[in-house]
A and B are shown apart, each in its own frame.
Chain A
Amino acid sequence: MNGGLSVLAAAWVVARRDFTAILFSRSFFFFLLGPLFPVLIAVLAGSLGSRVDASQERAVLGVAMAAADVDALTRARAQLAPALGDDLPELVVIRRLGQGESYDAAQAMAERKAHVAAIVTGPVSAPVLTGPRGLIEAWRGPVSMLSAQARAGTAFTYPAVVLKPVARSSGTERKGRFATAQGAQTLLFLLTMMLAGMVLSNLVEEKGNKIIEVLAAAVPMDAVFLGKLFAMLGVSLVGIATWAGVGGLLWLGGGFSPERLPDPAVGWPLLIALGVVYFAMAYLLLGSVFLAIGSMATTVREVQTLSMPVTMAQLMVFFFASFAMTQPGSMVEIAAVLVPFSSPFAMLARAAQEPALLPHVLAIGWQMLWVALLVRGGARLFRARVMKSGPAGKAKRAGRRFPRFH
């Protein structure tokens, strides 16, 4: 008790102040805009990539054959194009060979005389494709098909195929759920890493404002830590809700149908709900570690130095959880569920793949226990290492690593 204020009530006072202060600050607006830049970069990169792909698609095959073979080949392409479309290469006639005339395709490619990706020579009965290895191997089939059509000479009739879509097969369902699990895990990791670091700067700022001692004197440090964690969690959830809302509208506005998404094992509503809970858990677990680090650091540089190993460790944890996802029911998956830092990731992946709900209840309880332990540990560390006065003397004070309030 805090003279009428319980630890939770005291944490609420701290959280309320932090939450409103951050929410109504200018920096929060820029924070909301944050994901816009990676999205813009991704869109630009995607557009650039598709242009590059498009330019690659325009690469064509040169044809240097006897005039009759050239005509037969181009006619065959025209006949096959309606059925196969882009799967057929473009053909450009380089040379119609006269009687007894030959063409050195390898030399033409080496001298780059012909502006084509590869060259088809020889009679249609035995075509020769000259060009870079990867390319000619990819086009071996289409060229063979074109040659066969050219040799047959008659136009086949290709019947239209009626498409009858059915519900997913068990194979595609498993594959889809795996993809959902992978996506959910990655999204959870990215959000956690992006947002958990905020508590660091928040606490460093707090110490810069020199108000931490006032807080520590009035309420237990556990309450200060809890309040800060939950305030930043609240801010994060507001941010995520905003991004999800805007992103969802853009997605639906772009004509995307949610029905195309593979259904997770627990269903979409529950997966989203569990995603929020596991984000909160992952955030609180990582945030409490960052908070302990932030409480000991005095400058942003110190924060970066101290938090780097934690960030790397978290990356390893993510890889561990991702690996565990590929082996459901194995000891590796159980270990990933039990290790507190990988537990939210492993369990979210599980929600996408397995319908059972009881394990989630147990896992959330387990994770909450660890949050409490870490907050308590962080608060103790703070009290033991930071709130201390040392001997007087400028020389000693100058050498202090952590702030002392004397």
Chain B
Amino acid sequence: MVSNLARNLASNLEGHPLAIEARGLVKRFDGFTAVGGVDLSVPVGAVYGILGPNGAGKTTTLRMLLGIIDPDAGTRKVLGAARPHDVAHAIGYLPEERGLYPAMKATEAIAFLGALRGLPLKEGRRRAHELLERHGLGYAADRQIRQLSKGMAQQVQILGTLVHRPRLVIFDEPFSGLDALNQGKLERMIRQLAEDGTTVIFSTHVIAHAERLCDDVAIIAGGKVPFAGPVDAARDRIPRQVRLETRARDGRWRTALPEDARQEGAFWSFSLPDGGIEPLLRALIEGDAGILSLSIERAGLHDAFVAIAGEAAARALEAGEQEDAG
């Protein structure tokens, strides 16, 4: 991730455009505002997560970015092009609802997806064989899609998304429907893509995936983006948490603790005071607290999501995660 950030910085310094730049995207369906003014800036080479509960507007936003549908208002630039189809050869897309032609052989399916992006069929077939071999699916190259398991078919489609070596890959809920093993494989694949300099955008309603993979996230709820930026910046939206363990159970030092301090067994937890840790430390020492341990922890992305998107969105997100796990 550090290397990506460095690359982003380098690319920006060189004057390269952002991989995606969207301003005020709006989409309404039958009077319902699915997306109500989304701004996104995705740096080249970043792994970018679009995080939000089901129905938040993630898919609609991605479809507008891909040119599948046009926004009712706002502008978008994808790899520098105002019309996404103009750079379709440099984009890979995996929709949430996966599907391939059942009668097609795995190799042909991958080559066809490449051909749609401008890759000659012959070269597509060659690369398809190569990709299938590399991902341990060489034995399935001549099998029809209908003869493959659901997980294998999904892998074939993912390989088809990448066969033309896109500069920008967009995955819509790529982890849904995958078992833990394949989720791990996909995470490794996304990291590899990022290392190779590919910009990866994926939507998810599972915070853990975004937290593990992303440099930047856009939190989307109710068709709006209340936060977009680096994951660390999202975490910094809420104060850091102090975790304190003392020898003394009671004493003058207790008055130095902030109002939101709560006791959890032998520990006290509270938000880092606005004045910083030093005044507090001084008060604890002077009050004979007998500090056994003190740590300052950054908030998790989940807490940040709650703070940014609100309790309702967080509950919807959790419901989606449970549904997915179920």
Does A387 contact B63, Cβ atoms closer than 8 Å? yes
Contact (Cβ within 8 A) B89 A5: yes
Closest Cβ of chain B to A118, distance in Å, is 67
Assembly CA distance A266 to B87 (angstroms) = 49
Tell whether B90 is near chain A: CB-to-CB under 8 Å: yes
Q: Is the CB of A406 within 8 A of B89?
A: no
Interface residues of B in 77-106 (CB under 8 A from A): 85-91, 93, 95-104
Interface size on A, residues (CB 8 A): 33
Query: Which residues in B have their C-beta under 8 angstroms from that of A392?
Result: 53-56, 316
Contacts of A215 in B (CB 8 A): 116
Contact B34 A383 (CB under 8 A): no
Interface residues of B in 92-124 (CB under 8 A from A): 93, 95-104, 112-113, 115-118
With A217-B66, A218-B117, A392-B54 as known contacts, state yes or no: A3 contacts B32, CB within 8 Å: no
Chain B residues whose CB sits within 8 angstroms of the CB of A216 once the complex forms: 68
Quick one: which of B53, B68, B117 contacts A213, CB cutoff 8 A? B68
B69 lies within 8 A of A214 (CB): no
Q: 8 tightest A-B contacts by CB?
A: A392-B55, A210-B99, A3-B89, A218-B116, A406-B59, A213-B95, A217-B93, A4-B118
A214 lies within 8 A of B113 (CB):
yes
B139 at the A interface (CB under 8 A): no
Whether A393 sits at the interface, judged by CB under 8 Å, is yes
A-B contact pairs, 14 of them (CB 8 A): A2-B85, A10-B116, A21-B103, A21-B104, A25-B103, A209-B102, A210-B97, A218-B93, A219-B116, A383-B68, A389-B29, A389-B63, A390-B29, A392-B55
Apart from A210-B99, A405-B96, 5 more pairs, CB < 8 Å: A21-B104, A218-B93, A392-B56, A406-B54, A406-B60
Is there an interface contact between A219 and B103, defined as CB atoms closer than 8 Å?
no
Contact with A along B199-210 (1 / 0, CB 8 A): 000000000000
| Chain A residues near B85 (CB-CB < 8 A) | 1-3, 219-220
Are A390 and B32 also in contact (CB < 8 A) when A214-B116, A405-B59, A406-B96 are?
Answer: yes
Query: A209 to B69, alpha carbons, bound, how many Å?
Result: 20
- Evaluate contact between A13 and B115: CB separation under 8 angstroms: yes
Q: Which residues of chain B have a CB within 8 Å of any CB of chain A?
A: 27, 29, 32, 34, 53-57, 59-60, 63, 66-70, 85-91, 93, 95-104, 112-113, 115-118, 316
Do B70 and A383 have beta carbons less than 8 Å apart? yes
Residue of A nearest to B89 (CB): A3
Q: Does A211 contact B (CB under 8 A)?
A: yes
- Does B99 contact A388, Cβ atoms closer than 8 Å? no
A residues contacting B by CB (< 8 A) are 1-5, 10, 13-14, 17, 21, 25, 209-211, 213-220, 383-384, 387-393, 405-406
User: Contact: B99 with A2, CB < 8 Å?
Assistant: no
B55 touches A214 (CB 8 A): no
- A contact residues around B97 at 8 Å (CB): 210, 213, 405
- Chain A residues within 8 Å of B91, by CB: 217
Interface-central residue, A10, A219, A405, by most chain B CB under 10 Å: A405
Q: With a CB–CB cut-off of 8 A, which chain B residues contact A213? A: 68, 95, 97
With a CB–CB cut-off of 8 A, which chain A residues contact B118? 2-5
